[in-house]
Chains A and B, each alone.
Chain A
Amino acid sequence: MRLTFKLVLALWLGFCALLLLNAVHRVRREAELFERDMRQDHARLGRALAPAVAEAWRAEGDEGARRVLGRAVGAEGELSARWRPPGADEARPAPPIVDELGAGRVAFDVLVDAEGGRRLATYVPVPLGPERAGVVEVSEPLAAEYLYIRTTLRNTLLLTTATAVFACVAALAVGGWLVGRPLSALAERARRVGQGDLAARLRSRRRDELGDLARELDAMCDRLEAARDRLALETGARLAALEQLRHADRLGTVGRLAAGLAHELGTPLNVVLGRATLIAREAAAPAATVKGATVIIEQAQRMTALVRQLLDFARRRGPQTCRLDLRAAVTHAFALLAPLAKKAGVELATGPRLDEAYAVADPAQLQQVLSNLVVNAVQATPPGGCVLVGVSAERARPPADVGGDEGAYARVDVVDRGVGIAPDDLGRIFEPFFTTKGVGEGTGLGLSVTYGIVREHGGWIDVESRPGAGSRFSVFLPGAP
């Protein structure tokens, strides 16, 4: 608003100066008019009285003239009239007046009395005969004029002040409306743009330069926003691609390592197993030896299972998809996992929703996904607890690292009220070999494989977990009608 103030102040000062000039001029002119009126009145009065005064003077001399004047003017308040007989020299008027009177014209003068009061004196010649003339002096104090001037001045000043105040208020209002407000809005918008807020628009409908500026600012915001969105999208895509590459790289490394290791381990494992089997079957062997051999066989079989899991991970094939009934898949998985859950004392149940939902998925791989998630949930749940598996069909928008538009997805929720996942671990659970289970309980590949399978299906996994409260794994797979 400072610009408005400056503009208004400049205009207003000029306006006030004009008003003052006008006031001075008016007062001066009024005063002049007032004085002229007084003079004319005096002259008329003087001329009107002149014949009567001359007659009285001829009849009764100076006394007669004074009596006539006293009768005529005595009741006229401030106005006074005096007779100046011919040849009288007391208080003679100044020379120019005498000259005027000599020529038979009315003359004027301003007299100052003993108290400093000013009076306007008008001298009217009264011809009394050849070469003789008296003078009627009509005088009036100028106080009336001063009063009039003061009143005029006061009125003018009041009017001027009122006009100036009104002009100031009006100029401020109009200036604020025309300049101040739009400029403030522009400045505020520019400040917000500087802070990175590109969303709002001014949408000005003004047809002036400020309107042009607002529209240009809006257009600039449009372009900046488009550029920023494009940049964010590109950056997000690049980061997602990088993350995908890193993941693929990790998987590739793990795969090569696993394949190489497996080939090297297969034969020694076979020898250990075979030899241990031979020892265990040795009829003459002591019981302790047989027991030892049996333990060796069990451990070798466990190693074999681990290597197989590694290889499954390394040799994951692409999904061979078909339209798959998720409810049926869950039922199937429950049937397979029931013994395990029973052993752990955990109940498997469906819910909270079990809608009809079809996904485009590889049946075997989906079973693997369900098994991994349910087994994890069972392992996280204390005995007596329950693992819930729900199925629903919904519209969802894939997260940024998956990308793509909102679409129809089939969703499977695996919910447990178990130990939960620490927030620090949550970001790493899909990494190969990341495990929080004890030594020998897991390879840290299960969730990594699950994640890989779901991603290969074009889906994703949403995880929500609170330590002590439990976890929810939501698998989103492309839906089938």
Chain B
Amino acid sequence: MLLAAVLAAVPAVQDPTLLALGGAAVFVLLVGVSSARALAIPWAIAGLGAEYALALGDGGLDSRVPLYAVSLLVTAELAYWSVQLRGAAADEPGMAQRRVIGLLLGATAALVVCTTLVTLARIQLGAGLAAEATGLAAAVCAVALLLVAVRRTSGA
């Protein structure tokens, strides 16, 4: 919750009007975690992401985005963990440490990938209809592949 509050506060520093959106996202997350409703978590994460997107403005590429992206992932993971811990089963000692280590490793890997993506995004490859079309096709393909993979594995 602390991490989510920080994530909500950072964009609000630039534009205090966004604090309402960030606050609402944190509230939704709080309700979701406290009532063990996992359904609320993606809405809260989407709210925090929307707050960040609205705070971007018209400037250049934000160099803090990898950190923000990884923080969103960690927030989501911690929220899902909290919901899981509210179940009936009690964890054995040592499971939490292993999970924290796994989460840190995952966050580090995600940070590396995000930083690479930002670096790649900074490279000027030239503009034009072809580049736009390629980018669009790549994004749509990526999303479609993910959805197909999820659907196939769900049906398995």
Partners in one complex: no
Which residues of A line the B interface, CB within 8 A? Answer: none
Q: Hey, which bits of chain B sit against chain A, CB under 8 A?
A: none
